Every structure is written in C-alpha cells, then in structure tokens.
Chains A and B, each alone.
Chain A
C-alpha cells in the first residue's frame, strides 16, 4: 500500500508544481461557472428580465395599457426606441431579445375586427425569442380580456354595445373584479423553502464541475503517456513495485487530484455563488468520491489507449465535451426531447449531475443519491477493467 501511496504522492507533487495545471483545474471552471451562471439567470436577488425594445406608433390608451402590462411582466425589461428601424437593428445585433411594434391606430380600433396586429421582431431560435413572444401574448390576452368581458355582459343583457352608460357601469364592475381576482396560482419548488427560486448558478455550477473534472483528465493522461515514452514506467518495473501497484498509484493520484479539484470548485460554488452543495454533506461526499473514481478510471483508460500527447489531448477534449453535452452539463436535458434525454442517461455524467442537482435543489440524502453513485462506480469499474486489460508499460 505504501508503494501505491508513494506513486500517487509523486504524481500529485508534480502536478502541484505545474502552474498551468492550476489554470485548467481551478481558474477555467470558475470563469465558466460565472459566465454560464450569469447567462442562465445568476442570483435572483434582483429582478432581471430579457431586454426588449418597444416602439409605440400609437400612444393611445390601449397602447399605454399594453405597455404597462408588459412593464409588470418579470420576463421582459422594456426599453423604448423611437423607430422601427432602430428596433430592427437592435434585434439584428442581439442587443435586445426582441422588439415590439405597436402600430398606429391600435387604440382607436382596439378589440374590433379592424384592430391592427402587434408585431414582434425576434431572431427565431435565439434563446430569448420564445419568452418575448409569450410575454407579449400574455399581456395582449389580459388587455383584451377586460374589453371582451364588458362586451359579453352587454350582449347577455341584449344591450346596445354603444350604450356608454351601460358600458361604463359594466366596465367599473368588471375591472374591479379583474384587479381583485378570487382565484390565484401559488407555486412552490419541492425541497426549497416557500418562495425560493433556484438560481442560474444552481444549474451552471455542478455542470461546470463535471465538465472540468473530465477536462482535467488531460493532465493525468498526458503524464502517463510521457512516462511511458521516456521509459520511466518501464524503469519502475525493475524495482520491487508490482504492476498492479503502479496502476493503483496512478489511479489513486488521479482520483485525489480530481477530488481536490472538486473541493475547490464546490467550495467556491457554495460560498461565492450561493449554491447549496452542503445541504447533505454525506451525500455530497459520496457523489464527489464517485466522480473522482470515474474521472480517474477514464483518465487511466485514455492514457492506456493513446500513446501520443496530441492524441491524448484530442481525445480528452472531444470526450469531455461530448460527455458534458450528453450529460446535461451545458443545458438541461429536459429541453432536448425524450430521445436525447434517454441517450444522455446512458452516460455516467448524466447520473452524477442528477446526484449533484438532487442534493442542491431537492435536499437529497445518501439513500437518494445511491442510483447516481452506483452508475458512476459501475462505469468506473468498466473503464478500470479495460485499462488493466490493455495497459502497457512500454
């Protein structure tokens, strides 16, 4: 056992002296976490909606009411622009998620057959376009509801729609009832305190931990390749250290490195980005150890199969990105459809990510993370088995 520990310690010491390794292992994941966390909503202390431009060619009461309804929406943050051309340019240059054009004559012909349509300009397929369209649709529905309700009340009483006295009386009651709805919707997220909303960092942080743990395999796999090329591994065989101990030392070193990396990233996530990793420390420890062993066994396999530095780098970059994408580290698998989500769960990364997110968002305990842990260890054993079968010392 002491040989295994000595070999692992040697590898860790080597890595600790490599300042560039620090860049990949700690700095890069933090930068990515910050970026993606802010992109997906950051911290929910302040209200932030998508930037949306509005051009009001009408200025009448209905247009004004529509603008007020949109301002109440949390999904969008309105900014007025003077012309459609400027709004078009702003969307085209991705300065805003969309632009809303209220045409002239909107108020005058409101809720009639001649009512001109509101135009929304958005880049189809962009991240915010659907949210903008839905926000406008929702505001338009609320705006037309009041008018629709008054018309229906008049028609039910067989009164002339132009009867202004009746219309005013009905409008007063309808508007008061709509402003004080009898039925409301209350939403609560499971595993959170009432009103608590998961932040963008809750989604981004665990994904980036996994992405960069995989990426860091490069360091470990390259060192194995280098030692094989320089003959250091072969020289080790002339000593009393057994082959299994050499492989054990390698995997232990990689696992400890991966674990320390996670400790740093989880710590920053917890104390800087407010991600509640420590909801269940025992479950968290279990998941982290499993991820470490998974990463170490995969690193060993890559170092075993590929004998040149370039091949190791290429394989690690491609594999880490593919596993991260398939596992849901870059985007939630729920937005990818059933097929992709099923394929994603054939990868160990999806299971580990489920474990992390379950702890952070749902307060999962040890028993709840066992499926994630089991999947990670299962893959780790397969990778280790393949490595042991194919490992060559020269």
Chain B
C-alpha cells in the first residue's frame, strides 16, 4: 500500500507542477465560469441587450402615442430594454431594420381608431411588426408587449359594445349618451386591467423532500458546476494517460521489472487519478465560493458529491485510456467521448434541459452528478442526493472494473 501511495503522490506532484495541466484543471473552468457568469448577470439571472424599436405612424395618431408610452414604460430603473425612435412611414421603418439600425419596426395603421369605434364591426386592421431575424429575445418581448396592448384595445372595444347594448336595452336612444356610457365602460375596463395585471399568480421553486429551505443556485454557480464536472473528466483522462505515456516511453515496463507487483504499480497510478481530481474539485469549489459567492450546499451532500464525482471521473478516465493503444489515440478518442458525454449530460447548458434531454442525460455519469449538484445547491439534504450519488458510484465501479480488466490482460 505504501508503494502505491508513493507512486500516486509522485504523479500528483508532477501533475500539479505542470503549467499546462493546471491551466486545464483550474484556469479553464474558472475563466469559463466567470465569462458565462458575466454573460448571464450572475445571481440576478438573464439580462438582454437594448432592443432598438422604430415606431411608424402618422403624426397625431393617438393609438401610436399609446404604444409609445407602453414601450418606453419598459425602461424602468437601470434597465434600458427598449430604445424607441419614430419613423414617418412603414417603408422608412422597414429600411431601418434592413440596414441593421433597428431591431423591430412597428407600423400602427392610420385608421386604427376608426376601426375600433366602427359600430358595424366589419372593419379590421393589423399592427405590423417587421423584425430582425438574427435577434430572438428582444423582438419576442416587443411582440408580447404589442400583443398585450392590442388585446387591451380589443377588450375595450368589446366592453364598449357590451355597454352600448345594455344601454340600448335599457331604453337609452341618444347617440351621445350611449357613447358616453361606452367610453366610461372602456375606462373602467382599462383601469381594472391595470390593477389586475400581475395578480392571480404565485411562482415557487420545486420543493425538495427533505430540504428545509429551497434556494436558487444562481447562474454563475450552475455554470461553474457544469464546467467543473467537465474539466474533472478531462483531468482524469490526462492523468490516466500518463500510464500510456510511460508505457510508450519505456519507463512503465522498467517499473514492471522491479520487485513491486504490477497491481501495486497500476494501483498507484489509478489512485493518483482519483487524488488529482479530488484536489481539483476542492480547489474549484473553494474558488467558486470566494470569487462568485456560490453556496454549494450543506457539508454532507457536498462531500458525497465530491467523492462520488472524483471516483466516477477516475473510473471513466481509466476506462477510456484502456481502450487506446497510444497516447495520441487516448487524447483524441478520450477527448471526443468526453465532449459528447458533456453535451448529453448538460454540462454546457448551465443546468439541464427539460423533457427528453433530462432522461437522456441519465445515461452519463456527469448527468447524474450535475443533477446531484443542482439539488445540493438548492438546499438538498443527503437523502435528496442519495440516488444521484449512488448512480455516480455505480458508474465508477463498472467503468473502473472494465478498465482494470483490460489493463490486466494487456500487461499480463
């Protein structure tokens, strides 16, 4: 055992003295997490770039003024969601979008007011949106806002008709009086809509069975955990690859000529993989707490996830290396497989996509680990992460056993 530990310690030291290895294990995940955390606004969630909107309507169009007021009302506090300008015609507005100077052109038809008050109800009009297709979120928000305004206008028209019918049924015949009643109804409706908006809905996080309090893991934390798990697998692969490097260079066969049993030598090598990844994950968790203020969760679930994660990464690294015959092959095949696993497991999407992909990721050890980490970060207890930890350990055992069997046959 002492010899295995000596070999493991030697490999651990040489790995942590290698600048390139340190860059891959520590610098890369922290840089990417910082970058993506900056991209998505840290704990606050998403923010988007200002959407440039041009409003095309004739001067004096009162409905256009209403659209303008609602759109500029989106710019509250420090967030400038919309940058609004006016154009005199639809053509001018569309040209601005085509030239890339605007993201959305809104054309308010000149006869909009007349259509709304038309007693016959046969006239119709459309508010036209012309959007920059390379933008998705901004135009979608503007479209939603415009739809809400239009719904309000249609609702006011409906209530005016309803009020008019009731007035007529009650014996009111003077047009002016009916119009006044209809107008008052529309005002009451608009006021009621304004008061009612945002009510009627509560939003909450899913409850974890044993958690006392559910926390929001935050964007930076979710991104860092995805990157951490991915680069743990990369680190494990690179350290395991030293077995092939030494075999290729001839130092491993020389070691086999010593009195130390083969199993001790290989055991020491595989132990170093586990230790390197353990140290890496501890350092990344510490950096995440200090740099991003990330709350990883309670001590016990975090410990379970670190250990099972290191074992799973080590098992995967040993297995992938066992499939290769040369260091070059190991690097290429291993990195390729890890990229696919990371893709399917959700390492690159800051959490996990829903539906079909949430099932598919469970075919990967990193998918289970990410699930476990997200639960821990949301305040999960050891019981809440038990299934994920066990799944990761199962992967570790199966992959490690398969890798060791191949190596034993190779060096028999």
Residues of chain A whose beta carbon lies under 8 Å from any beta carbon of chain B = 20-21, 23-24, 27-28, 31-32, 35, 39, 50-51, 88-89, 91-97, 99, 115, 117-128, 130, 133-134, 136-138, 140-142, 144-145, 148-157, 159, 166, 169-171, 173-175, 177-178, 180-192, 198, 203, 308, 310-311, 313-315, 317-318, 321-322, 325-326, 330-341, 354, 357-358, 361-362
Contact = CB atoms under 8 A, between A and B. Distances in A.
Given A35-B343, A156-B185, A185-B143, A28 B206 contact: no
Interface of B: 18-21, 23-24, 27-28, 31-32, 35-36, 38-41, 45-51, 94, 97-98, 112, 115-116, 118, 121, 123-139, 143-144, 146-148, 150-151, 153-155, 157-159, 161-163, 165-167, 169-170, 181-182, 184-186, 188-189, 192-193, 196-208, 216-219, 222, 234, 238, 328-329, 331-333, 335-336, 339-340, 343-344, 348-355, 357-359, 371, 375, 378
For A88, A337, A361, which residue has the most chain B Cβ atoms within 10 angstroms?
A337
A120 B206 CA distance: 9
Nearest to B351: A126
21 contacts: A32-B343, A35-B343, A119-B203, A122-B206, A142-B151, A149-B189, A153-B162, A154-B166, A177-B121, A182-B123, A187-B130, A187-B143, A189-B132, A190-B94, A191-B98, A317-B28, A318-B24, A332-B135, A334-B135, A338-B49, A340-B38
Contacts of A151: 188, 192
Contact of A340 (B39, B121, B218): B39
B97 A190 contact: yes
Contact of B32 (A125, A325, A358): A325
Contacts of B165: 169-170, 173
Q: Binding site of A, secondary structure by majority: helix, strand, loop or mixed?
A: helix
Given A50-B354, A141-B151, A318-B28, 9 more contacts: A31-B343, A35-B344, A95-B359, A117-B202, A187-B139, A187-B143, A322-B31, A335-B46, A361-B134
Contacts of A310: 18, 20-21, 238
Given A24-B336, A35-B344, A92-B208, A185 B201 contact: no
Q: Binding site of B, secondary structure by majority: helix, strand, loop or mixed?
A: helix
Contacts of B150: 181, 183-185
A92 B206 contact: yes
Given A95-B354, A156-B182, A182-B157, A187 B131 contact: yes
A286 B70 CA distance: 43
B197 A141 contact: yes
A352 B276 CA distance: 39
B166 A185 contact: no
Given A153-B166, A183-B125, A186-B126, A192 B133 contact: yes
A69 to B, nearest CB: 12
A34 B167 CA distance: 61
- Give the 10 A-B CB pairs with smallest separation, nearest first: A177-B158, A156-B185, A153-B162, A20-B332, A94-B358, A152-B188, A149-B159, A189-B133, A361-B133, A181-B154
Nearest to A136: B201
A91 to B, nearest CB: 4
For A97, A144, A177, A308, which residue has the most chain B Cβ atoms within 10 angstroms?
A177
Given A96-B355, A325-B32, A174 B158 contact: yes
B383 to A, nearest CB: 13
A186 B128 contact: yes
A173 B198 CA distance: 27
B196 A144 contact: yes
A353 to B, nearest CB: 9
A50 B206 CA distance: 17
Contacts of B146: 185
Contacts of B219: 125
B127 A145 contact: no
A179 to B, nearest CB: 9
Nearest to B192: A148
Contact of A318 (B23, B41, B218, B332): B23
Contact of A149 (B118, B127, B162, B343): B162
Given A23-B336, A185-B129, A322-B31, A166 B45 contact: no
A128 B354 contact: yes
Given A39-B353, A173-B158, A124 B336 contact: no
Contacts of B204: 119-121
For B40, B112, B371, which residue has the most chain A Cβ atoms within 10 angstroms?
B40
Nearest to A99: B206
A184 B154 CA distance: 9
Contact of A140 (B98, B201, B216, B333): B201
Contact of A88 (B148, B207, B378): B207
A50 to B, nearest CB: 7
B159 A152 contact: yes
A341 B133 contact: no
B203 A133 contact: yes
B134 to A, nearest CB: 5
Nearest to A165: B169
Given A141-B151, A188-B131, A321-B28, A125 B166 contact: no
A141 B154 CA distance: 13
Contacts of A357: 134
